[in-house]
Amino acid sequence: MTRTILVTGANRGIGRELTHRLIADGDTVIALGRDAAALAELGCRTVVADLSRPETLAEAVSSIDHLDALVHNAGIAEVGPVAELGLDVWQRHMTVNVTAPAELTRLLLPAVRAARGHVVFVNSGAGLSAGALWSAYAASKHALKALADALRAEEKPNEVRVSTVYPGQVATDMQRQLKKSMGAPYDPEKVMSAGTAAESIRYVLNVPAEATVHDLRIAPSNVVPHATTMRR
């Protein structure tokens, strides 16, 4: 049966790979992102929206009344010591990585409930442990875990499933930019592909409705996961 699935951050990286796979499966995908041109290349229904402005999301998704799954994939990451991170950095992380997913979930819950659907949060290894330089990003991802856990408990009576996927290092533009900002080398042999990360999310979405994957942690096989490396 064809499902309708909304994917945020669909214009690049994991979100783009996931969108391609879901379309190939025959699902109807609603791709949400900021880059209208990149979204148009996906060949599916699109929603152009800016998660840094959660107050604009209600109008952007007002026409959606049935949703089998909502995948919160979009996110931002900046690194730096607590002593140097300004208020604007903290506010950006909390707005894009936590407040926007919470608001989008609130707006779309009626559509998800109508389908007895599924909400999937794409988190990070940083959502489980934090290392030096990762305070703002990790704090936002810990908060996203709390949002997912609370939502799972609240929506169980409505038969809405809630899952969190925690990818480790993934070969995305975000990963390359982070390595550069940290003055660290980017080694493509020590990251998983965006396609592999997307496949793990697809797996969670395809688990039969009689079961729910609460948490799925996935990391590159050729590195030892630890607090400073497990980052999406």
| Mean pLDDT per 10-residue interval, the chain, length 232 residues | 95 96 98 97 97 98 98 96 97 98 98 98 94 95 98 98 92 60 63 92 97 95 51 51
Alpha-carbon gap, residue 226 to 32, rounded angstroms: 32
Walk me through the domains of the chain, giving residue ranges and CATH numbers: 4-218 (3.40.50.720)
Mind telling me the catalytic residues? 137
Strands 161-167 and 215-218: what pairing?
parallel
**C-alpha dihedral sign at 158, 58, 145, 73:** positive
Q: What is the pLDDT of residue 225?
A: 45
Q: What is the pLDDT of residue 191?
A: 78
